[in-house]
Amino acid sequence: MGGVHPHDSKFARERAIEELPLPQTVYVSMAQHLGAPAKPVVAVGDSVKVGQVIAEPGGFISAFVHSPASGTVKGIAPRKDLAGNPVMHIEIAVEGDEWDPAIDRTPDLVTAIPEDKAAILDRIKACGVVGLGGATFPAHVKLNPAPGKVAECLILNGAECEPFLTSDYRIMIERPKEIVVGAAIMQKVLGGCKCVIGIEENKPEAIAAMSAAVSELGYAGMTVQPLKKRYPQGGEKQLIDAVMRRQVKSGGLPIDVGAVVQNVGTSLAVYEAVQKNKPLITNVLTITGNEMPADRQHNYLFRIGVPLSYIAEYAGGVPDNAAKLVSGGPMMGKAIANLDAATVKGSSSILYLTDAFTRRKAESSCIRCGKCADACPMGLEPFLLNRLYKAADLDALEQNAAQDCIECGCCLYSCPAYIPLLDNIRQAKGQVMGVIRARAAAAKAAAEAAKK
């Protein structure tokens, strides 16, 4: 089973969602999702409305991008993302807040599920919905399994097992019915499979809210399942094991065991897309930290393209004792190297961590205790992978499934010798994946040459 039990640190859990005002300028990234970046379809000088398409998919694994504001396109150029890498952005000068009239902005709940599965998928695709559990995989692709693959269970991920993060918790508390309708829509698309909404048992209020919504709306084949509190309980393969008692093989996909996993935030986005014709231009982001007063912590409904520096300033500024800023949780989040980076569809937090929280202790020799292997939720042997990485033995790394590492950090968290296992295995995984991709490309080229 593996996993670890870090402190929850859900300090912002009681902070209701607040709507974040727009700044004077937004910067919309073309890399909002997994896969190929989107391609701009607007030009400098164009006027745009909220919800208007401004970029189209750049490949099969890609998604539409819509304007989060009304105003004038001021530039289309590279701009640094949160890691400091240049990514194409569309700069929009905000002028009012005029929405596309086709978007239903009323609060009325729409519960009738459309009958046309193809039309539902088209709407999800047209609205640029992507998975909001971390990977931002285009939702319309995931909800359309390959021929011969059948979905037996839609698993809705409400675990939110990462410490500090509370955005999923708040939408389950504040918008449970919309999430349930979104789940029913996905059930319809997947052929009427059952749906299990998995929520960690340390969130009883969310379990109660979602259970009440499921009971009231009465969609068939939908249940709420409390899950044991364990990180990374929200991992895709870990959820499938917990809910279905099935294991996804190395190199396999959830659909191989009859599962489709979506986040509760994605379900809300599906509801808004299909029932309200609203594209994915908003999400909820947590402002929190390990030594922040309660009144400085927030859950904001933000629009994509808003600079993180603007959000930080609006929330009271970067705390003086913040030594590290993280986008996401402390286990799998990414350090923010550029606070002027703009929010994207999958943005989930600005996490402020103090020096005492983030300072690494001095590394010592491995004592062969095996705690890293016990903690690994993928059943790997991190101590061995670390040794093979140092020996540059790529064949042995592949044979010992370094490519299956989900980079959850459980090995690093559990190591009493403070060995940087995650850093080294992440490097090893990248090298092995490069070999696997090169081998696949060579096989494809050989197959095509044989046809000629």
Give the pLDDT confidence score for residue 447 in this predicted structure. 86
Q: Are 443 and 436 contacting, i.e. CB atoms less than 8 angstroms apart?
A: no
Question: For 320-349, b where at least 16 C-beta lie within 10 A, e where not — what string?
Answer: eebebbbbbbbbbbeebebbebbbbbbbbb
- 2: nearest Cα among 162, 198, 225, 235: 235
* Integer Cα distance of 123 and 278 in angstroms: 10
Q: How far is CA 294 from the centre of its chain?
A: 26
- Residue 185's pLDDT is 98
CA–CA dist 62, 185 (Å, integer)? 21
SS3 label, residue 201: coil
Instruction: Please state, in angstroms and rounded to a whole number, the distance separating the CA atoms of residues 108 and 30.
Output: 32
The helices-and-strands tally (H runs, E runs) of the chain is 14, 17
CA separation for the pair 146, 386 (Å, rounded):
36
**Which pLDDT value is given to residue 451?**
80
**For the chain, first and last CA: distance in Å?**
49
- From residue 71, alpha-carbon distances to 49, 52, 178, 281, 427 in Å are 7, 11, 30, 15, 43
Cα–Cα distance, 452 to 449 (Å, whole number): 5
**Which tens digit of pLDDT belongs to each residue from 272-287?**
999 999 999 999 999 9
Q: What confidence tens digit (pLDDT) does each residue in 185-210 have?
A: 999 999 999 999 999 999 999 999 99
Task: Report d(CA 423, CA 363) in Å as an integer.
Answer: 13
Quick one: which of 429, 426, 304, 344 has its CA closest to 135?
344
**Residue among 346, 304, 332 at smallest CA distance from 135:** 346
Distance CA 268, CA 195 (A): 15
pLDDT value for 251: 86
Give the span between the Cα atoms of 32 and 312, in whole angstroms. 21
Q: H or E stretch including 168? A: helix 167-174
CB hemisphere CA count around 60 (13 angstroms)? 3
pTM value is 0.95
Tallying the residues shown for the chain, one arrives at 452
Residue 435 has what pLDDT? 94
Position 452 scores a pLDDT of 73
Angle at 239 between CA 387 and CA 31, to 5 degrees: 75
* pLDDT score at 321: 94
Q: Report whether 412 contacts 360 (CB < 8 A).
A: no
In angstroms, rounded to a whole number, what is the distance separating the alpha carbons of residues 16 and 192?
Answer: 34
Distance CA 94, CA 92 (A): 6
Low-confidence stretches of the chain (pLDDT beneath 70): none
Is the distance from CB of 215 to CB of 176 less than 8 angstroms? Answer: no
